[in-house]
Amino acid sequence: MAEKKVIRRYPEETKAKALALLSQGSTMKAVAGELGVSEQSLTNWKRAAGMTKGRKPKKEAKQLAKKDSQPTTPTTTQEKKSAGLGDLFQEYLAKEEELAALKKAIAERL
C-alpha cells in the first residue's frame, strides 16, 4: 500500500524568517537546513510573496503580457514596497519592529 503524503503546516513566523534570510542573500539550501523546511516549501513561499524571478504560471503570463510590454514605474508607496521585496516581507519587518517595542516595554516594567 502506498504511503500518504504528509502536508506540514508551518507558522507564519517561520515563513517570514525564511523570506527575510533569503532576501539577505542566504542560499535556499542553507535556509532550509537552518529552519528544518524543504527547499520546495521555500520556493512556494517566495512565489507567494512575489519574490521569484522565474517563469509565471500560464494564466498570469497571459494577463501580464500587456503590462510587461510597457515599462511602468511604481507611483504609490504601496507599489514601491511591492516592487521591492513583496508585501509579506514588508509586513514581517513591521511586525518585528512592533515586537521589539513590546519586548522593551515589558522589560522596563519588570
The 10s digit of each residue's pLDDT in 10-20 is 888 888 888 88
State yes or no: pLDDT of 103 exceeds 90: no
DSSP3 helix / strand / coil % (the chain, rounded to 5): 65, 0, 35
For residues 104 and 98, is the Cβ–Cβ distance under 8 A?
Answer: no
Domain spans in the chain, listed from the N-terminal domain onward? 12-53+81-109
Q: d(Cα 23, Cα 25) in Å, to the nearest integer?
A: 5
Going by C-alpha positions, the residue among 17, 12, 20, 42 that lies closest to residue 29 is 42
At residue 61, the pLDDT reads 47
